């Protein structure tokens, strides 16, 4: 495990880098297909602004193996993400700036600083937060015909259009 002193990293403006197989991230891989060759690489850079506030900038590139929710086949999902979090001294300071909406443009995530922050946990959190809610291929390789959403499905018995297809025309008028 690798630990950092968040205050020291931010004060010095230092950078730490690392790489690890995704199989080492237990919370991430729970319920996912095998992560045989999947790995993550990351960078964490500290920053102290002119007001004396501390920040951590994280950047992560990973290729977790996910299960497509359309064809149920595993696929490697390429991701690259970054974030900026403010390091605060106590839990009381987490909401010190008042209640902000997470969709607010000025909203900055905060974490409680530590002399011994587990880097892998921070990186694992970044990856988990970046995973798609419904993972799927752009084009599923195992489906025989591309899915077309706008065409009415033919009647399975006769090959004719569904009798309910006319309803979609009435709805448009």
| Residue 95, phi then psi, degrees to nearest 5 | -110, 20
**Could you tell me if residue 154 is inside a domain?**
no
**Could you tell me if residue 52 is inside a domain?**
yes
**pTM exceeds cut of 0.75:** no
**Could you tell me if residue 46 is inside a domain?**
yes
Q: What is the DSSP letter of 2?
A: -
Residue 86 to residues 25, 44, 53, 56, 96, Cα–Cα distance (Å): 24, 13, 7, 6, 12
Residue 18 to residues 27, 44, 58, 130, 146, Cα–Cα distance (Å): 19, 9, 11, 19, 40
**Could you tell me if residue 36 is inside a domain?**
yes
Per-residue pLDDT of the chain (173 residues; tens, 9 = 90+): 689 999 999 999 999 999 999 999 999 999 899 998 899 999 999 999 999 999 999 999 999 999 999 899 999 999 999 999 999 988 777 775 555 555 556 678 899 998 999 999 999 999 999 999 999 988 888 766 555 454 555 555 556 667 677 676 666 65
Tokens 């950047």 correspond to 59
**What is the number of structural domains in the chain?**
1
The pLDDT assigned to 150 comes to: 47
Residue-number span of the structural domain to which 32 is assigned: 3-147
Which helix or strand (DSSP H or E) is residue 9 part of? helix 6-12
Tokens 């009415």 correspond to 152
């Amino acid at each position: 495990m690798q630990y950092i002193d968040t205050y020291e990293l931010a004060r010095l403006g230092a950078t730490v880098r690392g790489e690890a197989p995704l199989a080492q991230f237990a919370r991430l891989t729970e319920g996912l297909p095998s992560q045989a060759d999947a790995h993550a690489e990351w960078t964490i850079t500290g920053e102290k602004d002119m007001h004396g506030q501390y920040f951590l900038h994280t950047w992560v590139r990973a290729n977790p193996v996910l299960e497509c929710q359309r064809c149920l086949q595993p696929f490697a999902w390429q991701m690259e993400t970054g974030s900026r979090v403010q390091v605060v001294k106590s839990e009381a300071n987490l909401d010190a700036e008042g209640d902000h909406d997470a969709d607010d443009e000025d909203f900055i995530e905060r974490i409680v600083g530590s002399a011994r922050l587990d880097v892998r946990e921070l990186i694992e959190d970044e990856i988990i937060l970046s995973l798609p809610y419904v993972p799927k291929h752009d084009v599923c390789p195992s489906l025989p015909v591309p899915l077309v959403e706008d065409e009415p499905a033919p009647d399975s018995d006769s090959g004719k259009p569904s009798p309910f297809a006319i309803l979609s025309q009435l709805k448009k008028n």
